Copies of this chain bind each other. A is one copy, B any other.
Amino acid sequence: MKYLKNMWYVAAWDYEVTHTLMAREILEKPILLYRKTDGQAVAVSDVCRHRYAPLRKGKLLGDVVECPYHGLQFDSSGACVHNPHPHGNGPIPRNAKVRAYPTLEKYGAIWIWMGEREPDESLIPDYHFISDKENYRTISGVFDLENHYEMASDNALDLTHVTFTHAGTLGAGTENVRDEQVVRERVGNTLWCKRFNYGIAAGSDFKRFNPALQSIAVDKQQNVRWDPPGYIVIIIRYVEAGTTDKHLTSIFAGNLLTPISQTRTRFFWSVSRTFGLDSDALDSAMRASAELALMVQDKQMIEDQLTLMRTTDLDSMHPVYIADDATPIAARRLLKQLIAEEESSAEAAMAVDTAGACSAESCRD
């Protein structure tokens, strides 16, 4: 059960969390989410430390959560602030505390910090286009899929699958594959795979999104950016062939992957565009296109892989590699290294902290 723990994960889109109780499993932890009366997002363990009742089925009393089983109350820091037993106001047991997780609201999402170290906001990759409503129009959604999140990363990092898996919709003809030029880069822990096509026909969906592209040859650029552990943005840019920005059709597609468990992934997706900022019709068309591609075609493919592999450990399968696997391989290698570094430093910290109390994980906080 290896995850990069000292990292921000998307717990929810901002509009999903209100002043009511909801729960999500993240990195195998049951997490309760709600907004306080002042609007601040709270993430605490969903499990009462007394008898393991689901707090999500309790009551939100102001900013305090009342357990649905015996009425213990917990504030947004996870502290038990009221025990009605006995006599309506009993003593607060010393260890009656549920784990609270740092949260942060940024780029249209509620981010949650799953590690023990000091949260580091700089680790959130740039998704400004999701929340910049002046220059972009964004649609978004979320769904679950049954496989390890790296298999979903692989999918987005290797766009050559678009021609085949999304033939007739997002994908254009195989000539796109034939004439493509690919550039791969690494900048710190960020990986880029940039694909260029010159003088081709646009994909069928893009012609619908921008009718100006229908009868002209275009230059296409698809830049895929990956940040650990599972943050991808695909920047698609069409212009009339040979021009710099004529009929510019620019789309930023976010794939933000939150591990639920080793075999289950929560997939937050977004599509931000720089054109047609007032068009509800474009919203509908792009939502239909994204949902077909992600929630039907890619999801089915990625879930089939788990069925056929019967493992989430791709390396152990000794797969055949082709040229375009370079970025997926680099991403897997880098993530593995980051997790190993985190683990060895955690072990070092443990070795030093000889006097520290064992922080029992048994509560599933």
Contact = CB atoms under 8 A, between A and B. Distances in A.
A89 B322 contact: no
A320 B49 contact: yes
A161 B310 CA distance: 39
A49 B84 CA distance: 56
A257 to B, nearest CB: 17
* Copies of this chain, whole number: 3
From A70, A72, A83, A305, residue with most partner B Cβ within 10 Å? A70
Contacts of A364: 308-310
Contacts of A300: 57
Nearest to A158: B70
Nearest to A97: B320
Contacts of A96: 320, 322
A155 to B, nearest CB: 9
Contacts of A53: 301, 304-305, 308
Interface stretch (A10-18, A170-178, A225-233, A339-347): A170-178
Interface string A53-87: 11001100000001111111000000000011111
Interface stretch (A34-42, A244-252, A311-319): A311-319
Interface of A: 30, 46-47, 49-54, 57-58, 66-72, 83-90, 93, 95-96, 154, 158, 160-161, 163-165, 174-175, 177-180, 182, 300-301, 304-305, 307-310, 316-324, 360, 362-364
